[in-house]
Amino acid sequence: AALFEGGIAIKNVLTIAGSDCSGGAGIQADLKTFAAHGVYGMSVIISVVAENTCRVISVEDVAPGIIADQIDAVFEDIPVDGVKIGMLSNKEQMKTVAGKLLQYRPRGVVLDPVMVAKGGCALMQPEALETLKKEMLPRAFLITPNIPEAEALTGRKIETEEEMKRAAVLLSEMGPWNVLIKGGHLSGDAVDILYDGGDFHTFITRRIPTKNTHGTGCTLSSAIAANLANGMGTVEAVKAAKEYVTTAIRHALPIGKGNGPTNHFY
């Protein structure tokens, strides 16, 4: 943690993710979320995504060598109190990040297994799925798949809360300590289920009628990483992060012509 002149220590949290030039998702959402949680934010860029609230125009993946150098640059200099990992585009990037996690062994890695943007554009190459499972899931303290991501990772259809629980157990057997499955893609209330290796914890919020939900997954996972770095226990960190993202959606900004961003500083 950094110690400032006034003697106040703040935690340092790193995001490893893709850049959303329109500011609502990816690295930009993560850094805003970190700032809103009073942690010092750092970022390793995985991919440059030309996108806005309506569509993804193109994606340029950053080469593994400079990804490794960015991670080294952070870890050789600054104590890292928490890590959020978002978009990883291809196998080589995953192997690079997994290798660096093994080298530096940071605590509290929150992995959001990003696969497809809301408009349908692939942010992860489909052939990288097995590498994500083998190399990345075992490196995570907590993973935050939504329903389609949990279905892709487990190869099972998920339509009920019971099926979410079964998928969470299957996913925890792939390596992560904790699994949070986000049920927003099912109908009705937004029900998320956390499996901590022993117990299930259910978090329910009313569905908010809005199209402005760009970057909600990014925001939730970085809020959890910030809360863990700030010393919260896992259940408390998830609960507070869900409350944060729910309020951020309720106060979403009517920016852009499509699905607007959440409001990180309501």
Distances (CA, A) of 120 to 54, 60, 116, 124, 133: 11, 17, 6, 11, 22
Q: Whose CA is closest to 82, among 244, 234, 227?
A: 227
Residues 50, 20: Cα–Cα separation, whole Å: 7
Q: Is 223 in the site for ligand PLP (CB under 6 A)?
A: no
Binding string, residues 64-103; x marks residues near ligand PLP by CB under 6 A = ----------------------xx----------------
Indicate if 182 belongs to the active site: yes
Residue 205 tokens, joined: 């919020």
- SS3 for 53? coil
Indicate if 213 belongs to the active site: yes
Give whichever of 148 and 197 is closer to ligand PLP, judged by the CB atom.
148
Indicate if 119 belongs to the active site: no
Which range of residues in 115-123, 132-140, 141-149, 234-242 is near ligand PLP by CB under 6 A? 115-123
- What is the DSSP code string of 180-236? EEE-TTSSSSEEEEEE-SS-EEEEEEPPP--S--BTHHHHHHHHHHHHHHTT--HHH
Binding string, residues 4-43; x marks residues near ligand PLP by CB under 6 A = -------------xx-x----xx-----------------
**Which element (helix H / strand E) includes 151?**
helix 147-154
Catalytic residue among 215, 219, 234, 242: 215
Indicate if 218 belongs to the active site: yes
> Residues in the site for ligand PLP, rule: CB under 6 A?
17-18, 20, 25-26, 49, 51, 86-87, 114, 117-118, 123, 214-218, 259
Catalytic residues: 182, 213, 215-218
